[in-house]
Amino acid sequence: CPIGWASPTAGASTCHICEVGTYASELGSVRCQSCSSLNGYTLRNGSSRCESCSGSPGLVCTDGHASIAAGFWAEVTDNATVL
């Protein structure tokens, strides 16, 4: 499977895309890893890595998803980067 995708069976021809909140950083991943254990998040399906919530006081991360803390605002750009 390509990066950002996984298949529970090694060498399988069918792969599934990693959902928001998960990632697969290597070719041939057998499962998508959760960003929650890394205090991180992803904004789109098929991610190859998690973005970190550490050092971002305006972000609240829960189960690999990011939300904006009360009193903060954010802009999402075309490449899905939270500013």
Q: What is the pLDDT of residues 46-64, one digit of tens each?
A: 999 998 888 778 888 888 8
pLDDT (0 to 100) of residue 5:
95
HSE-CB for 7 with a 13 A CA cutoff: 11
Calculated CA dihedral for residues 21, 26, 29, 33, nearest 10 degrees = -30
Residue 80 binned pLDDT confidence (cut-offs 50, 70, 90): low
The stretch 30-47 carries a mean pLDDT of: 90
pLDDT (0 to 100) of residue 83:
45
